[in-house]
Amino acid sequence: MLLMEHLIKVYNNISRKKETFVPINSPFVGMYVCGPTVYNDVHLGNVRTFVSFDVIYRYLQYYGYKVRYVRNITDVGHLTEDENAEDKMLKQAKLMQVEPMEVAQLYTNNFHEVLYLFNCLPPNIEPIATGHILEQIEMTQAILAAGFAYEIDGSVYFDVEKFNKKVGYGKLSGRKIEDLIANTRDLDGQENKRNNLDFALWKKANPEHLMRWKSPWGEGFPGWHLECSVMSTKYLGANFDIHGGGMDLKFPHHECEIAQNQAATHYEGARYWLHTNMLTVNGQKMSKSLGNGFLPAELITGDHPVLERGYAPMVIRFFMLQTHYSSTLDFSNEALDAAEKAYFRLMNAWENLNKLSLTPNANLQDAAEMEEVNRLCEACHQSMNDDFNTAMTIANLFELSRKINAYNDGKLALESLDEPTFARLQATYNDFIQVVLGLKNEQKEQGGKLTDGLMDIILDIRKAARENKDWTTSDLIRDRLNTLNVVVKDAKEATTWSVN
Ligand code: AMP
Ligand code: ZN
């Protein structure tokens, strides 16, 4: 598609407004998305966030932008707000009796496999936190030099109150520092921080801590928020276009990232901060620590207490895209059943469309019908331009599929369209399903299931023929199947088939 500037609007969480998307250096777009913490399997909630950004990445490219998509792997650092809680990577490594890097590699591989299953495109750069320790030390030094951090006993902390007075803290989350101070708990062992609100840029490693690096402050490891400031600015510059992640990362993670960026570079990092909303199960956030997350294998087989049966990955992807990324999405069997039906309707129309061929006939062309098809095609673009509204785009595609099915059934004359309108219909439908929404036709790929179903039907027809002593039909079916190497065996109990 040709790049037309200033048509895309995005909801920017930092201004709390829908804004026109204007890249800093068009046609280039820099997008950073917080990746997974690789200490156990990704669950479907994580997948929702990555599928949402996958569609945003896809659409920006489709629109004509040259996107550099950076998505990190978090393999070190404190992963909770409680900086004294045990590092989850280390906990898992001890449990599995392996090296922390083995844990990280195992779950990074798993993450890639899962996203591949859900047809997510890989990012352009996938930096790893432990691969950027030097840069994290450098940024800590820059923040110290700017006067917004202090060192105590081998650890370095960001001075939130001082930063708030001089620059301002809390812009993204809208939280007031006085309220935050009133609401923070005293955590054991944090007495060396000047203020409970202060967060670690660098932590001194205890003797038993396996993941440790030399630094100007002694052996230690970086704080949770630092890696994203470092890796986003390293690969996209101090001032880049889009920063994304789940809503749960808005505070404290992204708020702290902004503070670090401003302290070190004077820029906030990204101009547009996009947050995906949570996938919930019976109203509760799906999360690793709550243990209510589905693994992809459980989802496909249906082998999970909450699931009645399994669903194909594309059905799940479609289910996710039926809701706008900024709304919560509740996972239930009923919702998935409905999504599955809708998905197959869309896929059937897609197959029908690609079977249609138009012989233009000027006498049959109908201006109103052409206008309607063109309007619906345009609406697909408009809905994606409106903060990547996949829900509306799918609704528009359904309107188009009703038309396609009517042309296919002969209820509407395909010849009412001229060649350019028909070409536009085909291009729009194909592009939006495949390129923008990233959907594949499961029906085709699930050849096994479909073949089984079709063979049941064929053999039932043959059985009926045999019961009616219609040997011609029954033999014809058997011989025709034979030509496809399908061998039919009649036994007393049942007729079976196999492929030679
Ligand atoms: P984590 O591995 O926990 O750091 O999460 C990776 C990404 O998934 C982050 O952007 C989170 O905000 C996001 N995420 C976690 N839980 C959910 C959920 N239930 N629904 C949607 N996104 C989630
Ligand atoms: Zn991050």
Residue with tokens 């997974």: 36
Which of 249, 276, 303 is the endpoint of a domain? 276
Taking only the tens of pLDDT, the chain with its 500 residues reads: 567 778 999 999 999 999 999 999 999 999 999 999 998 889 999 999 999 999 999 999 999 999 999 999 999 875 554 555 667 777 888 888 888 889 899 999 999 999 999 999 999 999 999 999 999 999 999 999 999 999 999 999 999 999 999 999 999 999 988 888 777 655 445 558 899 999 999 999 988 888 899 999 999 999 989 999 999 999 999 999 999 999 999 999 999 999 999 999 999 999 999 999 999 988 899 987 777 887 777 887 788 887 888 899 999 999 999 999 999 999 888 999 999 999 999 999 999 999 999 999 999 999 999 999 999 999 999 999 999 999 999 999 999 999 999 999 999 999 999 999 999 999 999 999 999 999 999 866 555 566 777 888 888 889 888 988 999 999 999 988 888 777 888 877 778 777 65
Q: What is the CATH number of the domain that holds 324?
A: 1.10.730
Ligand 1: nearest atom to the Cα of 293: 19
- Give residue 478's domain range: 456-499
Ligand 1: nearest atom to the Cα of 248: 12
- Same domain? For 342 and 468 the reply is no
Ligand 1: nearest atom to the Cα of 37: 2
Ligand 1: nearest atom to the Cα of 278: 20
Q: How far is CA 30 from CA 33, 159, 237, in A?
A: 10, 29, 9
End-to-end CA, the chain: 47
Q: What is the total count of domains within the chain?
A: 3
- Same domain? For 257 and 377 the reply is no
Assigned domain for 437 exists: yes
Assigned domain for 300 exists: yes
**Do you know the residue count of the chain?**
500
- Strand 199-204 and strand 155-158: pairing? antiparallel
Let me know: does 236 contact 68? Beta carbons within 8 Å: yes
- Same domain? For 271 and 307 the reply is no
- Same domain? For 144 and 238 the reply is yes
- Which of 44, 49, 51 has the most ligand 1 atoms within 8 A of CB, as the residue to mutate? 49
- Same domain? For 56 and 183 the reply is yes
Which of 259, 276, 293 is the endpoint of a domain? 276
Measure 75 CA to ligand 2 centroid, in angstroms: 12
Ligand 1: nearest atom to the Cα of 329: 20
Let me know: does 1 contact 61? Beta carbons within 8 Å: no
Nearest protein Cα to ligand 1, atom 5: 36
Please state, in angstroms and rounded to a whole number, the distance separating the CA atoms of residues 85 and 52: 31
Report DSSP letters for 137-201, one per residue: HHHHHHHHHTTSEEEETTEEEE-HHHHHHHT-S-TTT---HHHHHHHPPPPTT-TTSSSTT-EEE
Nearest protein Cα to ligand 1, atom 11: 246
Q: What pTM value is reported for the model? A: 0.88
- Same domain? For 316 and 465 the reply is no
Please state, in angstroms and rounded to a whole number, the distance separating the CA atoms of residues 234 and 498: 58
Let me know: does 488 contact 478? Beta carbons within 8 Å: yes
Which of helix, strand or coil describes residue 255?
helix
Q: At 381, list the tokens.
A: 């673009």
Assigned domain for 336 exists: yes
- Minimum-distance ligand to the CA of 245? 1
- Same domain? For 311 and 192 the reply is no
Let me know: does 100 contact 89? Beta carbons within 8 Å: yes
- Name which of 55, 122, 67 is nearest 391 in CA terms: 55
Measure 405 CA to ligand 2 centroid, in angstroms: 45
Which of 248, 276, 304 is the endpoint of a domain? 276
DSSP state of 12: E
Assigned domain for 450 exists: no
- Minimum-distance ligand to the CA of 329? 1
Ligand 1 binding site (Cβ under 6 Å of any ligand atom): 34, 36-37, 45-46, 48-49, 245-246, 248-249, 276, 278-279, 285-288
Please state, in angstroms and rounded to a whole number, the distance separating the CA atoms of residues 57 and 42: 20
SS3 of 76-99: CCCCCCCCCCCCHHHHHHHHHCCC
